[in-house]
């Protein structure tokens, strides 16, 4: 009788097969391991690559575990939200005061509404994206000694921070981490907020 896992293993990449028979071996059914071993043999995969891949996977796993052990609590995340909301609100207020010296937004309600929308969204976007691209943290995160990282612990790219910032506009995103370990903007940008431990 043909091994029921043979087809599944035939669809795996070489690297996935090597992971299965090395570092992830104990997580699989013995029949699945047998099918993976047979697939490796059928493909003539060079077993000298096993050690290198095993070391790479082990390092990645250790790094992910280190990041996961440093994830901050929902209470800290809520504190970030309050601090950063207050700061963006004050920035928007200052910008409105400055604009009010030069423009009378009540003279045209459409222009006034458009100006309000541009100011609010622009300030919000600039605050979060500039701070997190440059420093990996907002003022709220500076105060709580935390920072934004990719899921592997590395510094996020500018595009990941932009996705993270845009995702904050999703309704109720700001309190989503009260119900799940990572908020919606973390999940969508593949980032996490961890304690900023000295290197």
Determine, yes or no, domain membership for 123: yes
**Contact predicate 129/94, CB 8 Å:** no
Range 171-178 average pLDDT: 75
pLDDT value at position 198?
61
Residue 18: strand, helix, or coil: helix
Last residue of a domain, one of 52, 69, 86: 69
**Per-residue model confidence as pLDDT tens digits over 154-165:** 999 999 999 999
Range 184-192 average pLDDT: 88
Is the predicted pLDDT of residue 1 greater than 70, yes or no? no
One domain, residues 84 and 134:
yes
- The domain in which residue 189 lies consists of 74-195
Q: Provide the token pair at 120.
A: 């609010």
Last residue of a domain, one of 42, 69, 96: 69
DSSP string, 172-187: TGGGGGGTSSS-HHHH
pLDDT value at position 108?
65
d(C-alpha 183, C-alpha 178), whole Å: 8
One domain, residues 39 and 133:
no
Nearest alpha-carbon partner for 14 in 32, 39, 31:
39
Nearest alpha-carbon partner for 70 in 190, 177, 191, 193:
193
């Amino acid at each position: 009788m043909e091994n029921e896992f043979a087809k599944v293993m035939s669809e795996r990449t070489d690297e996935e097969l090597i992971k299965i028979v090395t570092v992830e071996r104990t997580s699989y059914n013995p029949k699945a391991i047998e099918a993976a071993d047979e697939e490796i043999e059928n493909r003539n995969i060079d077993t000298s690559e096993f050690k290198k891949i095993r070391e790479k996977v082990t390092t990645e796993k250790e790094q992910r575990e280190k990041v996961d052990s440093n994830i901050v609590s929902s209470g800290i995340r809520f504190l970030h939200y309050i601090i950063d909301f207050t700061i963006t609100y004050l920035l928007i207020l200052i910008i409105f005061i400055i604009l009010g010296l030069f423009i009378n937004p009540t003279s045209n309600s459409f222009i006034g509404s458009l100006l309000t929308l541009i100011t609010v969204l622009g300030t919000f976007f600039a605050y979060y994206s500039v701070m997190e691209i440059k420093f990996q943290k907002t003022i709220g995160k500076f105060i709580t000694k935390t920072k934004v990282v990719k899921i592997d612990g590395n510094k996020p790219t500018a595009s990941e921070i932009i996705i993270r910032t845009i995702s904050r506009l999703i309704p109720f995103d700001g309190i989503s981490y009260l119900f799940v370990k990572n908020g919606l903007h973390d999940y969508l940008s593949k980032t996490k907020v961890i304690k900023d431990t000295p290197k």
